[in-house]
Structure 1
Amino acid sequence: EMHDKLFENQRELKKDKLVEYAQAIGLDMKAFEADLESDAIKAMVEADKALAAKVGARGTPNFMINGKQVSGARPFDSFKEVIDAELKAVEGLKDVKPDAIYAARVEKNFEAPKAAPTADGGAADTSKVVYKIPVGEKTYVKGGKEPLVTIIEFSEFQCPFCSRVLPTTKQILDTYGDKVAIAFRHNPLPFHKDAMPAAEASLAAGAQGKFWEMHDKLFENQRALSRENLETYAKDLGLDVEKFKADLNSGRFKAQIDEDMKVGAQFGARGTPNFFINGRQVTGARPFDAFKTVIDEEIKKAEAEIAKGTPRSGIYAALTAKGLDKAAAPPTRRPPADDNTVYKVPVEANDAIKGQADALVTIIEFSEFQCP
């Protein structure tokens, strides 16, 4: 409704008009006006912009049809040609469930966009980029007390991919022992309605000394995260349930979660799970070997730092000291469009979606409301 209202009035988009449109479509005005000033909402927009730049969608409108790019206000036949080709390709996915078709189609055809050229004409190597990303004073950490490698994980309890990566993070801790620590920062995706309450529940349990126990309980039951369920889990864990309920009612942990989300967006952690290994980003529910490669490199760097006299307690700060303080800027030059390239564009975050959830073809549109 707001989408349509904004396009109908795209020459009148000042704040007073936005408030007027919100009233016209019957929104909760107190919540709407608060969200207009919310850092979390701004972070979502910035994250979308960063994703668009990453896959080469620099102008508007820009569409990704099962990952294939169609740029500009093109005629219907331009879309039909790509959609028909995708429908034909999907016919071969006999054993794939409908809700997994988008991921399967993109995974099969994914080809990463060519890296932006560097000043000397070579390709930029983003795998070596280091970010000076803070662990966070209130962040819960498990693993070594003075690790050689610190992994900051941005995750949330309703995301199936976050659950899928748990065996990998366990294998990391089992393999590397006190050389590695994992810090859990929250990034509840608005698309998952129970993710924020679950994040609050984990911190409420943490206030009673059982963050990791609640963490495990929530992932074990990520399809059952209602308020009633959360209170049941608190009881199962032996928490003071009345204190737990009071903490949830007070909203005392929302500021901490919002700060985690803000930091995640600042460093390009748009979706979940997202990891920073001594400041180096690894995205998604990747296999153990994808982490091992980076961890082993970072252990060597840490050992070299110790040999120079840096104490173990200062390794993370030393190795990230010269890191970037925000996500790397997108290339200024737009990559050339390639009709045969399939881009791996996530759709599980805060996107507003219309159409069937199990559609055979998914079109992601990058757009804006002032573009004629």
Structure 2
Amino acid sequence: MNTRMRVTIITTGVLVLLLVAALIYVVVDSDEAERAAGGGADPQIVRASSHVLDDGGQGAVTVVEFLDFECEACGAFYPIVEDLREQFAGEITYVVRYFPLPGHRNSVNAALAAEAAAQQGQFEEMYHRLFETQAEWGESQESRADVFRELAEEIGLDLAAYDDAVADPATLERVQSDFEEGRDLGVSSTPTFFVGENAVELREWDDLESAIGQAVEGGR
């Protein structure tokens, strides 16, 4: 091998190494920029996009429920929650967030139905109907999207708009964003309640009422 050929090979090798190093720098720098742009944000218990069932106004205690519409425990807590909403009317702001559990075949479908209804201003109507009919579709191993569409018709939704919303990937992303933020907050089961900034440890049926009552009294 002559000197000119050796110089050519070495020069080519150096250029390749420089190119690889530059590519690695670009990838790492891009990942860091993405994390800085949003990946490192602290999880929030309530977001501006969260669904508010009751707004108690300034000074009210915020109560947040991460729920799965197919969850039997959520269904059991539903009448309790409704009683508490009435009992503490004007003193709490009640917020609902999605946390569809992977083991439930129709939990995501139900959340999509609720979110599609929310886009037509009827989240609470669908929220009630999903819990009131849970026994009819819960624990099914087949998709019951047809049942949810019937519920949409019953509450008077525009079905074409409903179908478009359910099929829109952005609707699923909205549901998943609640789920992912819930995990970041330490949610692992449903229902999980936050009163103010604190997660409520549920051991007895009246634990939620007690937590809300203490927070309301503390704010007076």
Equivalent-residue separation in structure 1 for 2:43 and 2:60 (angstroms): 16
C-alpha contact (below 8 Å) 2:65/2:97 kept by paired residues: yes
User: Which of 149, 171, 174 is the matching residue for 2:86?
Assistant: 174
Q: 1:212 aligns with which of 104, 124, 138?
A: 124
Identify the residue that residue 194 of structure 2 maps to in structure 1: 276
Between the aligned partners of 1:235 and 1:282, the Cα distance in structure 2 is 36
C-alpha deviation, 1:251, in angstroms: 2.5
For 1:208 and 1:285, locate their aligned partners in 2 and report how far apart those are by CA, in whole Å: 37
Q: CA deviation at 1:255?
A: 1.5
Question: Which residue does 1:363 correspond to in 2?
Answer: none
1:132–1:302 Cα change, 3 Å: farther
User: CA offsets, 1:253-276, max 9 Å, x none?
Assistant: 112211111121112110000000
The equivalent residue for 2:219 is 302
Matching residue of 2:31: none
Matched, 1:141 2:52: yes
For residues 112-261 of structure 1, the aligned pairs below 5 Å read 133-146=44-57, 148-222=60-134, 223-224=136-137, 226-261=144-179
Kept in 2: contact 1:142–1:181 (CA 8 A): yes
Q: Distance in 2 between matches of 1:302 and 1:133?
A: 21
Distance 1:204 1:132 in 2: 24
Letter in 1 for 2:46: V
Give the AA of the match of 1:166. Answer: Y
CA RMSD of aligned residues (A): 2.0
The answer on whether the counterparts of 1:204 and 1:248 sit within 8 Å (CA) in structure 2 is: yes
Whether the 8 Å contact between 2:45 and 2:185 is mirrored in structure 1 is no
Matched-pair identity in %: 25
Ranges in structure 1 where 5+ consecutive residues have no aligned partner: 1-130, 304-372
Q: Which runs of 5+ in 2 are unaligned?
A: 1-41, 139-143
- Contact 1:272 1:284 (8 Å CA) reproduced: no
* Paired amino acid for 1:143: D
Deviation at 1:286, TM superposition (A): 4.7
Q: Rg: which structure is higher?
A: 2
Structure 1 residues 160 and 192, CA gap change in structure 2 (3 angstroms): same
The alignment partner of 1:291 has SS state of helix
For residues 288-341 of structure 1, give each alpha carbon's deviation from its aligned partner in whole angstroms, at most 9, with x where no partner exists. x312322222123323xxxxxxxxxxxxxxxxxxxxxxxxxxxxxxxxxxxxxx
* Distance in 1 of aligned mates of 2:154 and 2:83: 27
Paired with 1:132 and 1:244, the residues of 2 have a C-alpha distance of: 30
Q: For 1:216 and 1:241, locate their aligned partners in 2 and report how far apart those are by CA, in whole Å.
A: 19
Task: Give the aligned residue type for 1:181.
Answer: T
Q: Does 1:290 align with 2:207?
A: yes
Q: Measure, in 1, the Cα distance between the counterparts of 2:128 and 2:106.
A: 16
CA distance in 2 between counterparts of 1:284 and 1:221 reads 25
Distance 1:270 1:235 in 2: 33
Q: TM-score, normalised by structure 2?
A: 0.73
Pairs aligned (count) = 172
Q: Check the 8 A contact 1:161/1:285 in 2, yes or no.
A: no
Distance between the aligned counterparts of 1:199 and 1:132, measured in 2?
21
**Which TM-score applies when normalising by structure 1?**
0.44
Give 1:149 deviation, angstroms: 1.0
Q: Does 1:266 align with 2:179?
A: no
Q: Comparing both structures, which one devotes a greater share of its residues to helix? A: 2
Distance 1:244 1:286, change over 3 A: farther
The alignment partner of 1:269 has SS state of: coil
Q: Flag the 1:284–1:241 CA change in 2: closer, same or farther, 3 A.
A: farther
